Amino acid sequence: MTKIFKAKIFPFNQQWFGILLLLLMANLFTPIAKGQSSLTINECYSLARKNYPLIKQRDLITKTKEYSVSNAAKGYLPAFSVNGQATYQSNVTTFPFSIPIKGFTLPNYSKDQYKIFGELDQTIYDGGVISNQKQNAEANEIIQQQSLEVQLYALYDRVNQLFFGALLVNEQLKQNDLLKADVQNGIDKAKALLANGMAYRSSVDELSAQILQTEQARVELTATKKAFLNMLGLFINSPLDENTVLEKPAEPQLSQTISRPELMTYEYQKKTFDLQDKLLNAQLRPHFGFFAQGGYGRPGLNPLSNNFQWYYIGGLKLSWNLGSLYTLKNQRELLDINRKNLDIQKETFLFNTSVTQKQQNADIEKYMQLVKNDDAIIALRESVKKAASAQLENGVLSAHDYINEVNNEDQARQNLILHQMQLLQAEYSYQTTIGNIKN
């Protein structure tokens, strides 16, 4: 029984082992054979931003801010300076009397005098000027980064044009295959009729010429697709070929709220005006500091000696510049004017964006209606083509008339493809316009 059981089971296991091995090899080698890679539009957005040369400015802007803040903070460090002077004066202090004290004589001052000294100044209170400088450096960095974001955001529209252009051509290539199949079907039927003496050779030739035209159209479409992919590849810094699969994106959820990066730029710029207003107040406050001075010269600090002397002096220093009071009102008026100009720029931007938004909404509604009509037209054209195919097979319709019906259906399908892509591109352009693309 054991041998009989083995004889029955061994061929069974060997057969299934072979099948499993073939399936395993198919799974291993299928992706390699296809050699295809897929690419989404969001991936294109991300790669275009990452590889655009302007993105290199981001680190430079950050470093500029760091150096500016560091330089401003150094305002609290002691400042050391070295000064010197040599002078000759027309007159000096003299004494018109003498003091009758033994061993004491009044000094005679020289008209040439010399002084060299080092001075150390330490800020104690500057009214908030240094703090304001640091805040301004940080605010300027944010504005520059946001301005860079505005320029990078403009890439999305260019990616849209290239991505959807390539996607449209790809769909047209698929339709080209269907058209070629319909024409080839007509050729097969015309040849059968010719063999039975029910058709002329010219009918087969006319259909053959049509299929050559279809192949020519495919060559042009393939070249156009290659051009789109090459340009898109430059933007994302990745070579794309005919094996690259562009994934058709889903229809986005359309929003009405405008959230473009330009709006944040306006808000950040407005904050710099507030910082400038605070700087005006800081400049009106008194400044306190400590100073120390040491040097060598003639005369020194001793007024009764005309000899070279070492000396030092130190203490507190107060400075209060009230000259800015004269221009304070005008400077604040200028800040108010700048704020109003910025509000006008923001209002103008929102107005123009709203106009574009309404135009794109109208385009979206138009393409929706066209797609709906295309579906109905295709159904009718397909019915007519099927009837024409049957008539050609029965020899009651000429090849020329059959080609016309095939072309009519093809044109209807081409219109549908075009309108579908135009609808999708219009929706994504709308998202770009209102700033609803998140990356």
Q: For residues 188 and 202, give the distance between their C-alpha atoms in angstroms, rounded to a whole number.
A: 14
- Residue identified by tokens 């999305």 is 156
pLDDT of residue 3: 38
Q: For residues 159 and 259, give the distance between their C-alpha atoms in angstroms, rounded to a whole number.
A: 20
Q: For residues 108 and 88, give the distance between their C-alpha atoms in angstroms, rounded to a whole number.
A: 15
Do the domain assignments include residue 20?
no
**Domain boundaries, position 62:** 43-81+134-434
CA dihedral of residues 66, 71, 74, 76 (deg, nearest 10) = -100
Task: Give buried/exposed letters for 401-420 (b at 16+ CB in 10 A, else e).
Answer: ebbebbbbbbebbbbbbbbb
Q: Does the pTM of the predicted model rise above 0.85? A: no
Q: Which of 231, 185, 230 is nearest to 211 (CA)?
A: 185
Q: For the range 299-308, what are the long-range contacts, defined as Cβ-Cβ under 8 Å and sequence gap of 24 or more?
A: 299/109, 299/113, 304/106, 304/107, 305/107, 306/107, 306/108, 306/109, 306/110, 308/114
Taking residue 385's Cβ as centre, other Cβ atoms within 10 Å add up to 20
Contact 74, 53 (CB under 8 A): no
CATH number reported for the structural domain that contains residue 371 in this entry: 1.20.1600.10
Please give the tally of structural domains in the chain. Answer: 1
Q: Along the 439 residues of the chain, how does pLDDT read in single tens digits?
A: 333 333 333 344 444 334 333 333 333 333 333 345 789 999 999 999 998 888 888 888 888 888 888 888 888 888 889 999 999 988 887 777 666 666 666 777 888 899 999 999 998 888 888 889 899 999 999 999 999 999 999 999 999 999 999 999 988 898 888 888 888 888 888 888 778 777 778 878 888 898 899 899 999 999 999 999 999 999 998 888 888 889 999 888 888 889 999 999 999 999 999 999 998 888 888 989 998 999 999 888 887 788 899 999 999 988 888 877 888 889 999 999 999 999 999 999 999 999 999 999 999 999 999 999 999 999 999 999 899 888 888 888 888 888 888 888 888 998 999 999 999 999 999 999 998 876 6
Taking residue 388's Cβ as centre, other Cβ atoms within 10 Å add up to 21
Do the domain assignments include residue 32?
no
Do the domain assignments include residue 103?
no
Do the domain assignments include residue 5?
no
pLDDT of residue 103: 63
Do the domain assignments include residue 439?
no
